[in-house]
Amino acid sequence: MQTLIENVNIVNPFEEISTHQNVLIEDGIIKEISSSKITSGNVIDGEDNYLMSGFIDCHTHIFAKGFHKEENMANPLGIHFYNAVPHSMQTINAGVTTIRDCGSADLSFKMAQQRRLFTAPKVFLSITPLVMTGGHFDLLLPSGWDMEIIYPGFPKGRCDGVEEVLKKTREVKRAGADFIKVMASGGVLTTNTSPEFAQFNKKELKTIVCEAKANDMKVSAHCHSLKGMNNCIKAGFSSIEHGTFIDRKTSRKMVEENVNLVPTLLVHQFLYKNGFPAWDSYADEKTEKLKEVVKVHKENISVAYEEGVNILMGTDSGVIPHGHNLEELVHLTDIGMSADEAIAAGTSKAAEFLGFDNLGLVKENYVADLILINSNPLDNVGVLSDNDNVLRVIQNGIEVKN
């Protein structure tokens, strides 16, 4: 199957814009790019707009709708899965063609996307995070009610001690995980935990990494805590998610050990601005934690950027509503990144982190995951924040938004 996109200006980070180009796609791959005429039966008129790679959101929760425990109790289990359908369309409409799901999506979602049962981003799965008893994402409430959603084929994430974390890593892999996610500090949304405290001990963390590496899997840490980050760096983690209390010394260690940072700057600011539902009985506790997090997060991530930490785009969508994904790019430029750097964090660098050498750029022999934008994002990366500016989305050469 062929598709020809005529008359577009190609945007790749750190390159001059190639104007008035024609792009031929064949069987999901970019076969030819030329300023000369190309003949094809299926033609899309690019109308002199800007063509760039579809984005990769390195931190989402595609099934989640705020992680409100009360809704988990009230809703039938099926709603948990059906939510993924509109969430997926919102994500595609934002210009995101691939996601790295950091907890809640299961193998059925990946299979449904591959079988094109509904329009959805491609996905890298962590299935469920590993969490210690009493840690962030341990959803057993003081009442004794356990609010963690589990069902056949979806393992429970709670584990303690070397033997249990080893077994749990294997269980999560068995359930279809592409990488392992670990809650290595307290969080904002879980009661009775604080973001500044580390979770899991060094032996547990090292055990998880050793087992994951034996299966060629990367390990990612939800981590706000400075001590927790240092524990994870020493253990051999591939990425730190959030990194709220990171400092200059720890940033340098991350550079030395080639540990990536997914700061998710959008999520805390969005929550602090918009708040929580009136019926959320833990809203006051969460808001109090957010005061501290929002205050220091941007400043500390700026330090990490100055020290050369490799920063990737992630949003924590699912904690906040889906479809705001590319607003994260504005926050990345606010910490000092150029438009090229911010775009690369969500395209070419993100693709490299996921192990691709043919994704994240508009080039011949690359996967045809593409978006068409009505103005030049290198002049103003903020144009990508408005989904109406994303005119078309193409995934594997097939148009999924027009």
Please report the sign of the dihedral spanned by the C-alpha atoms of residue 347, residue 352, residue 355, residue 361: positive
389 in helix, strand or coil?
Answer: helix
What phi and psi, each to the nearest 5 degrees, are found at residue 285? -65, -45
Residues 378 and 276 in one domain: no
Given a cut of 50, the residues of the chain with pLDDT beneath it are none
* Per-residue pLDDT, 281: 66
Question: Which of 84, 132, 79, 91 has the alpha carbon at shortest distance from 106?
Answer: 84
Residues 339 and 376 in one domain: no
Residues 7 and 59 in one domain: no
Residues 42 and 174 in one domain: no
Helices (H) and strands (E) in the chain, counts: 13, 14
* Per-residue pLDDT, 90: 98
Question: Looking at 337, 353, 369, which one is the last position of a domain?
Answer: 353
Residues 10 and 106 in one domain: no
Residues 347 and 202 in one domain: yes
Question: Which of 193, 187, 194, 180 has the alpha carbon at shortest distance from 232?
Answer: 180
* Per-residue pLDDT, 278: 61
Residues 116 and 176 in one domain: yes
Residues 174 and 204 in one domain: yes
**CATH code of the domain in which 320 resides:** 3.20.20.140
What phi and psi, each to the nearest 5 degrees, are found at residue 107? -65, -25
Residues 278 and 373 in one domain: no
**CATH code of the domain in which 373 resides:** 2.30.40.10
Structural domains of the chain, count:
2
Residues 158 and 300 in one domain: yes
Q: Give residue-wise pLDDT tens across range 296-352.
A: 999 999 999 999 999 999 999 999 999 999 999 999 999 999 999 999 999 999 999
Q: Are 209 and 230 a contacting pair, CB within 8 Å?
A: no
Question: Looking at 336, 353, 370, which one is the last position of a domain?
Answer: 353
What domain range is 65 assigned to? Answer: 55-353
Q: Give residue-wise pLDDT tens across range 155-177.
A: 999 999 999 999 999 999 999 99
Residues 252 and 381 in one domain: no
CA distances, 92 to each of 21, 80, 103, 243 (Å): 24, 19, 19, 27
Residues 18 and 75 in one domain: no
